Structure 1
Amino acid sequence: MASNKTTFFAPQLFIPHGVTDISFYAKAFDAVELRSWRNDDGSIHVAELSIHGAVFHLHEEHSEKGQFEPTRTKGITAIVGLFVEDVHEVMDKALHAGAMPITPTQDYEHGYRQGTIQDPFGHQWLIETRI
């Protein structure tokens, strides 16, 4: 993980209240849970995860702050771009872990190989590499 003196992005992805199983991220992306804060019922309040040093958070939604999980709004406002060495391998692994395909892996004239999946909580991930 980056030090406190390094600037980096750490997206917060909102999930529904009551979620206890976030194993998709470990299965799909080899994510490691660094730490988490759980509610009294054992559900996730916040979980900090890392994919090979890239940190992101899962956070239960806060409707009072206008922070909703994607399935509630039936849409998204951002896509998480994940740069990897082998797009096909990561896409296949994510699909086997329960992701839904959005766009198949393909090469683009702008110099990227990309494919898009949707995770079980409605977040879209653009799996990509420079070619």
Structure 2
Amino acid sequence: MITSTGASTHFAPELHIPNGTKSIEFYTRFGATENFCFRNDDESIHVAELEINGAIFHVHETMRDALEPVSAKGVTAVIGLFVPDVEEIMQQAIKAGATEINPTTDHDYGYRQGMFKDPFGHYWQIQKKI
């Protein structure tokens, strides 16, 4: 059993980026707020915490046996983000430099969804229940 001490329970995905990455500007252009960013001696990013309307996620340089999508040669996870306006967020991501994978579509199972790939190869499924 998981118990709470009053704080809400939520997921905070950690997206791995290639070692030596110096800019994660895509995420702020996409609309994320950077809460903090720790850099290595060479000014490359070690770890940063970002937030999109209360949804927290981290980007972290690749470590141990973890792979980011480029070196893994494929998708390592799909980030599902629930938002009020799927099309607005999809367009914002594409304008910021994302690549559309699936256009915004209403599905029979009751979701409006669109999917894009960010510049680091991570797939994002933008969605809302309809």
TM-score by shorter chain over 0.5: yes
C-alpha distance in 1 between matches for 2:66 and 2:6: 26
**Structure 1: 5+ residue runs without aligned partners?**
none
Matched, 1:85 2:84: yes
- The structural deviation recorded for 1:6 is 1.9
* Amino-acid identity (%): 52
Residue of structure 2 in register with 1:43 after alignment: 44
C-alpha distance in 2 between matches for 1:36 and 1:25: 13
**What letter is aligned with 2:33?**
V
**What letter is aligned with 2:99?**
M
Matched, 1:18 2:17: no
C-alpha distance in 2 between matches for 1:70 and 1:117: 14
Residue of structure 2 in register with 1:95 after alignment: 94
**Structure 2: 5+ residue runs without aligned partners?**
none
- The structural deviation recorded for 1:4 is 7.7
> Normalising to structure 1: TM-score of the pair?
0.92
Q: For 2:80, what is the secondary structure of its paired residue?
A: strand
Q: Which runs of 4+ in 1 moved over 6 A?
A: none
Q: For 1:117, what is the secondary structure of its paired residue?
A: strand
> Normalising to structure 2: TM-score of the pair?
0.92
- The structural deviation recorded for 1:94 is 0.6
RMSD: 1.4
- The structural deviation recorded for 1:25 is 1.0
C-alpha distance in 1 between matches for 2:123 and 2:50: 17
